[in-house]
């Protein structure tokens, strides 16, 4: 499937159940990557605007670039009252934004879908001198019995989980993308879910088994069983390490 279309049927679940980003990470962008109140930021692969809405109050302008029509439409509905967001239906490789127009490029949960060489060239075109790129993921941990079982279930019942997982990226991929040195910073993040929330979180993922398939029924049964064993007060925690790879990509 075209990677830009993988989430078309999962927009509602994505809006409701995907995690946000911790304030400490946004403070890092401001303090270490010069994302101050005068900054212009391009949020590439903006999806439903989960990061975009957090960036907007901190900067002068955010450009939300999202090629998927359904996800971009959802973002525009949710962020309709935010006045400093511009919208583009461009791709990571061809954003449609003016050259030299931004101080920072952010990418949340999406870099592993891109043509990395073409995206690097587009960043070089977009960024002002000394501009930076921040590649961001909420990396789901397996630090509880429930999360370990959830991860094992994805390996067992998702047809392409291992193929599309962002963890397939290695250090050489980041060295090739950034100009020389880059840094990796980590921030704690989590969500608390009841059972319906866990099932919604599953269905927000592009690699989740399709509803109505035997694999989805088996994964759902696993979740119900493990939730019954491990929930405390009717909730389980999804724990994340929010990863930020950042650096320059000057030509």
pLDDT per position as a tens digit, 180-216: 789 999 999 999 999 999 999 999 988 889 889 999 9
| Per-residue model confidence as pLDDT tens digits over 134-167 | 999 999 999 999 999 999 999 999 877 766 556 6
β-strand partners of 236: 193
The continuous run of DSSP H or E covering 88 comes out as strand 85-88
Show Cβ contacts of residue 248 under 8 Å, excluding neighbours closer than 6 positions: 130, 131, 132, 133, 178, 179, 180
Helices (H), 104-250: 116-126, 145-157, 161-164, 171-177, 195-203, 214-230
pLDDT of residue 9: 64
8 Å CB contact between 104 and 39? yes
pLDDT of 164 reads 56
Q: Retrieve residue 243's tokens.
A: 């990863």
pLDDT at 8 over 80: no
Angle between the N-to-C axes of helices 214-230 and 145-157, in degrees from 0 to 180, rounded to the nearest 10: 170
pLDDT in tens, 53-65: 999 999 999 999 9
pLDDT of residue 1: 44
Tell me how far apart the alpha carbons of residues 170 and 154 are, in angstroms, rounded to a whole number. 21
Give the model confidence (pLDDT) of 68-122 as tens digits: 999 999 999 999 999 999 999 999 999 999 999 999 999 999 998 899 999 999 9
Number of H helices, E strands in the chain: 10, 7
């Amino acid at each position: 499937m075209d990677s830009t279309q993988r989430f078309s049927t999962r927009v509602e679940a994505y809006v409701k159940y995907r995690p946000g980003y911790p304030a400490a990470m946004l403070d890092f962008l401001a303090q270490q990557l010069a994302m101050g109140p005068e900054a212009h930021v391009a949020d590439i692969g903006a999806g439903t605007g989960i990061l975009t809405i957090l960036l907007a109050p901190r900067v002068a302008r955010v450009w939300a670039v999202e090629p998927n029509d359904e996800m971009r439409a959802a973002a525009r509905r949710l962020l309709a009252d935010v006045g400093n967001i511009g919208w583009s239906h461009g791709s990571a490789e061809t954003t449609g934004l003016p050259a030299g127009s931004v101080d920072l490029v952010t990418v949340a949960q999406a870099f592993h879908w891109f043509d990395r060489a073409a995206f690097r060239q587009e960043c070089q075109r977009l960024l002002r001198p000394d501009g930076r790129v921040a590649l961001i993921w909420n990396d789901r941990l397996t630090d509880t019995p429930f999360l370990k079982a959830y991860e094992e279930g994805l390996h067992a019942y998702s047809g392409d989980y291992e193929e599309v997982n962002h963890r397939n990226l290695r250090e050489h991929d980041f060295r090739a993308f950034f100009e020389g040195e880059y840094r990796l910073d980590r921030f704690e993040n989590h969500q608390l879910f009841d059972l319906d929330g866990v099932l919604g979180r599953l269905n927000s993922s592009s690699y989740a088994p399709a509803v109505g398939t035997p694999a989805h029924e088996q994964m759902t049964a696993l979740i119900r069983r493990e939730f019954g064993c491990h929930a405390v007060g009717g909730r389980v925690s999804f724990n994340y390490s929010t990863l930020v790879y950042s650096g320059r990509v000057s030509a």
